C-alpha cells in the first residue's frame, strides 16, 4: 500500500511539471500590484513615475503625504 501511495505522488508531481508553466506576472500587471495606473506620456503632478506598463505607457502612482 505504501508503494502505491509513493507511485501516485510521483505520478502527480510528473503531471504537475508537464501540465503548466510557473506563474510569472506580466510587466503590465506589476503596475497594478504597486497601486499605480497606466497613462500615456509622462506622469504629471501629483503622480510620479514608478515604471513602464506592458503597452508602453508610463506607470504612475500618486504622492502620499504623511
**Is the model's pLDDT at 14 over the cut of 80?**
no
The residue range of the domain holding 50 is 27-65
Given this model, what pLDDT does residue 61 score? 94
Over residues 17-52, the pLDDT tens digits come to 655 655 455 554 688 888 899 999 999 999 999 999
**Assigned domain for 19 exists:** no
Q: Is residue 37 part of a domain?
A: yes
Domain containing residue 39: CATH number: 3.10.360.10
Higher pLDDT, 15 or 32: 32
What's the CA gap between 27 and 14, in Å, rounded?
29
Q: What is the dihedral of CA 39, 37, 29, 32, to 10 degrees?
A: 180
The verdict on residue 54 lying in a domain is: yes
Q: Could you tell me if residue 2 is inside a domain?
A: no
Please give the pLDDT value at position 47: 94
User: How many domains does the structure of the chain reveal?
Assistant: 1
Residue 40 domain-assigned?
A: yes
Amino acid at each position: 500500500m505504501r508503494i502505491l501511495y509513493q507511485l501516485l505522488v510521483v505520478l502527480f508531481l510528473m503531471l504537475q511539471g508537464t501540465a503548466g508553466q510557473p506563474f510569472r506576472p506580466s510587466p503590465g500587471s506589476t503596475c497594478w500590484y504597486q497601486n499605480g495606473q497606466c497613462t500615456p506620456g509622462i506622469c504629471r503632478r501629483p503622480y510620479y513615475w514608478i515604471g513602464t506598463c506592458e503597452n508602453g505607457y508610463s506607470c504612475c502612482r500618486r504622492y502620499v503625504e504623511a
